[in-house]
Structure 1
Amino acid sequence: MTPSDEPEFIHRFVPAAQSDLGITLLLLHGTGGNENDLLPLGRELLPGAALLSPRGRVSENGMPRFFRRFAEGVFDVDDLKFQTHELNGFIKAATERYGVAKNKLVAVGYSNGANIAASLLLLHPHALSGAALFRPMVPFTPDFEPDLERISVLLSGGMHDAVVSPDITEALAQMLASFGADVELHWHQGGHELGQDDLSAAKRWLSRKITSWQSLKRAAPEVG
Structure 2
Amino acid sequence: MKHIFQKGTDESRPTILLLHGTGGNEQDLLPLAEIIDKEANVLSVRGNVSENGMPRFFKRLAEGVFDEEDLVFRTKELNEFLDEAAEKYGFDRNNITAVGYSNGANIAASLMFHYEDALKTAILHHPMVPRRGIELPDLSGKRVFIAAGTNDPICAPQESEELNELLANAGADVELHWENRGHQLTMSEVQAATAWYK
TM-score, normalised with respect to structure 2: 0.97
Amino acid at match of 2:164: A
Partner residue in 2 for 1:41: 32
The answer to whether the 8 A contact 2:114-2:136 is kept is no
Q: Larger Cα Rg: Structure 1 or Structure 2?
A: 1
Give the one of 2, 6, 23 matched to 1:14.
6
Give the one of 108, 129, 135 matched to 2:99.
108
- SS in structure 2 of the partner of residue 176 of structure 1: helix
Q: Spell out, residue by residue over 1:29-65, the C-alpha distance to the aligned partner (whole angstroms, 9 max, x if none).
A: 0000111111111111111211001100000000000
* Greater displacement, 192-201 / 55-64: 192-201
- SS in structure 1 of the partner of residue 113 of structure 2: helix
Q: Spell out, residue by residue over 1:181-201, the C-alpha distance to the aligned partner (whole angstroms, 9 max, x if none).
A: 000010011110011211111
**Partner Cα separation in structure 2 for residue 198 and residue 46 of structure 1:** 15
Unaligned runs of 5+ in 1: 1-8, 208-224
Partner residue in 2 for 1:178: 169
**Partner Cα separation in structure 1 for residue 188 and residue 17 of structure 2:** 21
- SS in structure 2 of the partner of residue 102 of structure 1: coil
Does residue 78 of structure 2 align to residue 87 of structure 1? yes
Q: Spell out, residue by residue over 1:166-223, the C-alpha distance to the aligned partner (whole angstroms, 9 max, x if none).
A: 111000000100100000010011110011211111111110xxxxxxxxxxxxxxxx
**Partner Cα separation in structure 1 for residue 108 and residue 133 of structure 2:** 14
* Identity percentage of aligned residues: 51
Per-residue deviation, 1:142? 5.1
Q: CA RMSD in A?
A: 1.0
Give the one of 62, 72, 76 matched to 1:71.
62
**Correspondence list, 1:1-224, <5 A:** 9-16=1-8, 18-141=9-132, 143-207=134-198
**Partner Cα separation in structure 2 for residue 93 and residue 200 of structure 1:** 31
Per-residue deviation, 1:20? 4.6
How many residues align? The count is 198
**Partner Cα separation in structure 2 for residue 198 and residue 21 of structure 1:** 26
The answer to whether the 8 A contact 2:13-2:39 is kept is no
**Partner Cα separation in structure 2 for residue 35 and residue 109 of structure 1:** 11
Per-residue deviation, 1:143? 3.0
- SS in structure 2 of the partner of residue 101 of structure 1: coil
- Structure 1 residues 66, 143: closer, same or farther in 2, change over 3 A? same
Unaligned runs of 5+ in 2: none
